[in-house]
Amino acid sequence: MNFFLKIFKLLPPELAHSFSLNSLNILYKLKVLELLFNKIEHDEKITFLGMEFNNRLGTAAGLDKNGDYIDSLGALGFGFLEVGTVTPLPQFGNTKPRIFRNYSENSIVNRLGFNNKGVDYLVSNLKKRKYKGILGINIGANKNSDGDERINDYIVCLQKVIQYADYITINISSPNTPNLRDLHNSENLSLLINALNESVKDLGIIKPIFLKISPDESQETMNNIIDNIKNSCFSGIIATNTTIDKSNIKNKKIKSIEGGLSGEPLMDKSTEKLSYIRSISGDMPLIGVGGILSKKDFDRKINAGASLVQVYTGFILKGPSLINEILTS
């Protein structure tokens, strides 16, 4: 696997991402994946919101936007997967280049902009999956939607994916869709929650629904978010998405690039946000994500109040070996 990682580093970021996951799919279908990756079974049997997980480690949204790699990723030993972010209509996202790697600081900046093939394509893949583990589906809004139309995008996706999901994530925190983070504001969030509450009631949904939040919001905003989602259809929070704050980046070229920063420089900020949410939310269910590159990072998220932890950039940079490092250390 180290050999493949070295090869992937020579490729442009998006090509490397696609090539690596397609290679994973091929190895899975040829039934040789376990020969190259020494998966160690690590079953904890965690029960969380009525769902049973084999372990606490999962993938974050963005790794598999369209559900093309569910079975092969599931074979690596993750306790759960989250696919998406998916939008009602297919969209290309922002113009390329839009992913920038910063290996010296274990980080990535992306300005993808919810590029995906649309919810109907994802549903077609969900129907074909063999993976039996816990699967979350992350939903968002199309770039050109606005106001009530943007809120309706979440309802459309919810209605189409709910029967295939173990839980749903409402993504209002990508920095790469214009004005999406405005949904953190109390008035806008209330409108979204009211629409979701009505849809959940009409559909008879009893599955967990999470709100994925930004690490860049103030404590006042976080207090309002907690107040708004109590006694709503939301079960908990995923903290956090990427940050637009690059003040702790030394690489001047990377520092000047617009987009969301992930990886090691995000770790402290996202974990502090997670810890604050835990301190004001009581026993609200929380999932931690942002900056996990080691077992130590994983433990920090758990100690900060997360019941489950998701990885993305750490998995991209370190490969499947990160899974065993976290689950067997």
Q: Which residues are catalytic?
A: 174
* Contact present, 50 and 209 (Cβ < 8 Å): no
DSSP 8-state symbol, 257: S
Q: How far, in Å, CA of 110 to CA of 115, rounded? A: 11
Instruction: Please give the helix or strand (H or E) that residue 238 lies within, else none.
Output: strand 236-239
- Return the biggest CA–CA distance within the chain: 53
Sorted by sequence, the CB contacts under 8 Å of residue 268 that are 6+ apart come out as 291
Report the alpha-carbon angle 77-80-82, nearest 5.
125
Q: Which amino acid is at 238?
A: I
Helix ranges, 46-118 (H) = 70-74
* Residue 27 CA, distance from chain mean position: 24
Burial label for 103, CB within 10 Å (0-12, 13-18, 19+), is: exposed
